[in-house]
Chain A
Amino acid sequence: MDKSVATLAEAVAPIGDGATVMIGGFGGSGAPIELIHALIDKGPKNLTVINNNAGNGHVGIAAMIEQGLVSKIICSFPRSSDPIAFNEAFKAGTLELEVVPQGTLAERIRAAGAGIPAFYTATSFGTDLAEGKPVETFDGKSYVQERWLKADFALIKGEIGDTMGNMTYRMAARNFNPIMAMAADCTIAQVTRIAEPGAIPPEQVVTPGIFVDRMVEVAEPRQEEILIREGAVYP
């Protein structure tokens, strides 16, 4: 078994028009910038993107929007230090937005990965974001039904991966990456180093390889935050 692929272009090759794509990261932390930019180079259209945010500056998801790849974003917080790409597309009506409370977003993703089609949560009860959703009372408290959130692809970023797909993450760059890996039909990971099986002690594996389909090495990944501070624009 060897899940590694040689190039970023090869890694994102299966992603076509109309796909739903989960993208890991929280702001720039854990964002698979190189995979996103490879996807922009490929240029599929009409994508639904699932991320906590909706892009920042002119790189990463913001660049996907500017390059016309995205028709819908599902996120919890479409604001950032420089949200112009999202704001302009949203105001122009070319980009649909679904706002989901952050914990509900995470749990919908986790539920999809665990094969749970729906669950109940207290979050959003009595608010506009619960409109139209079934409500049930359990032990005297009201809960809102939420459904799983699946994707065709997940683009994620890790620290060390082995050729069987086992992965670790660096610091708080973990965030949505491990749960998105579970919720997509095809999970594509970029890691700083691809190692042989056994290089990661089994106790330290965070994402077991069963959740990962393709892995590409990006030895010196860029940080979105630093790119934005440099004024970078992609492409």
Chain B
Amino acid sequence: MTNALDDIKLNNDQIAWRAAQDIEDGAYVNLGIGFPERVAQYTVKGRTPVFHTENGVLNFGPAPAEGEEDWDLINAGKKAITLKSGAAFFHHADSFAMVRGGHLDVAILGAFQIAQNGDLANWSTGKGGIPAVGGAMDLVQSAKRVAVLTDHVTKHGDPKLVERCTMPLTGVGCVTRIYSSLAVVDIADGHFWLREKVPGISFDDLQAVTGAELKTEGDVLDLIVSGEGAPV
């Protein structure tokens, strides 16, 4: 099953592109370190979201050219960034007042597991090692909308969308939309609601790699990545 999925699933850039289509003009957005950061590259033309980073910058832009880095100007991933006009600096308590006070419109994070009640596990595998949480627990409990980008299954082919998380939780009942490598799934009323799926997979095959019931209401749309600026 896993090998067949590899041929039809979206790559990380395509998942990021799909998530970017839902970011509205003027939205205040926090993108998690790593894969979710790519969403910024696919901002829809004509929309100007404002990106927030935990270490105290609003309205930052892409990385500078190599050699142009200023290491006082970094993002939460400790990578060098640039500023857009209208940027602002602030200290850490203000930065997290923006998060915890419910001022952020969207937070987009990665995931180990997402449960059908919206619980998210993304900070610790629970198998020992060194725990590191960063700002994830703040973001998921307080942003107006919390979305997740993820492969639909683990490297071993196990479902990441599950009935109940078995890994340590980052937040409870917090995720409302999942952009996976195979589908767009909403979470409401304790259930997964399938909104879109890649055309190469049947409903039954998608259900087979999903760890809890996929409900539907109305049409399930084709998840197609195309158009100007879309990644291949």
A residues neighboring B (CB under 8 Å):
26-30, 52, 76-81, 83, 86-87, 90, 97, 99-107, 109-110, 121-129, 169-179, 206, 223-226
**Chain A residue nearest in CB terms to B92:** A106
Total residue contacts A-B, CB cutoff 8 A:
142
CB distance from A192 to the nearest CB of B (A): 11
User: Which of A126, A127, A171 has its CB near the most chain B CB atoms (within 10 A)?
Assistant: A127
Task: Tell me, yes or no, whether B229 is within 8 Å of chain A by CB.
Answer: no
Give every chain B residue within 8 A of A28 (Cβ-Cβ). 71, 74, 78
- Shortest 6 CB-CB distances between A and B: which pairs? A103-B96, A103-B138, A126-B172, A102-B135, A106-B92, A110-B93
Give every chain A residue within 8 A of B93 (Cβ-Cβ). 106-107, 109-110, 179
CB distance from A230 to the nearest CB of B (A): 12
Known A29-B55, A90-B130, A126-B169; contact A171-B91, beta-carbon cutoff 8 A: no
Give every chain B residue within 8 A of A123 (Cβ-Cβ). 100, 137-138, 141-142
Task: Tell me, yes or no, whether B10 is within 8 Å of chain A by CB.
Answer: no
Known A127-B169, A174-B90; contact A99-B133, beta-carbon cutoff 8 A: yes
B29-73, CB under 8 A of A: which get 1 and which 0?
Answer: 000000000000000000000000111110000000000001111
User: Which of B91, B93, B142, B172 has its CB near the most chain A CB atoms (within 10 A)?
Assistant: B91
Can you list 29 A-B contacts (CB < 8 A)?
A26-B92, A28-B74, A28-B78, A29-B73, A77-B134, A81-B78, A99-B132, A101-B133, A102-B54, A102-B92, A102-B134, A103-B100, A106-B93, A122-B142, A123-B137, A123-B138, A123-B141, A124-B141, A125-B172, A126-B169, A127-B137, A128-B168, A174-B90, A175-B55, A175-B56, A176-B91, A178-B91, A206-B91, A226-B71
The number of chain B residues with a CB under 8 A from chain A is: 39
* Contact yes or no, B74 A29, CB < 8 A: yes
Give every chain B residue within 8 A of A29 (Cβ-Cβ). 55, 71-74, 78
CB distance from A171 to the nearest CB of B (A): 4
* Contact yes or no, A103 B89, CB < 8 A: no
Give every chain B residue within 8 A of A179 (Cβ-Cβ). 91-93
Give every chain A residue within 8 A of B169 (Cβ-Cβ). 126-128
CA distance A226 to B55 in the complex (A): 19
CB distance from B108 to the nearest CB of A (A): 17
Task: Tell me, yes or no, whether B131 is within 8 Å of chain A by CB.
Answer: yes
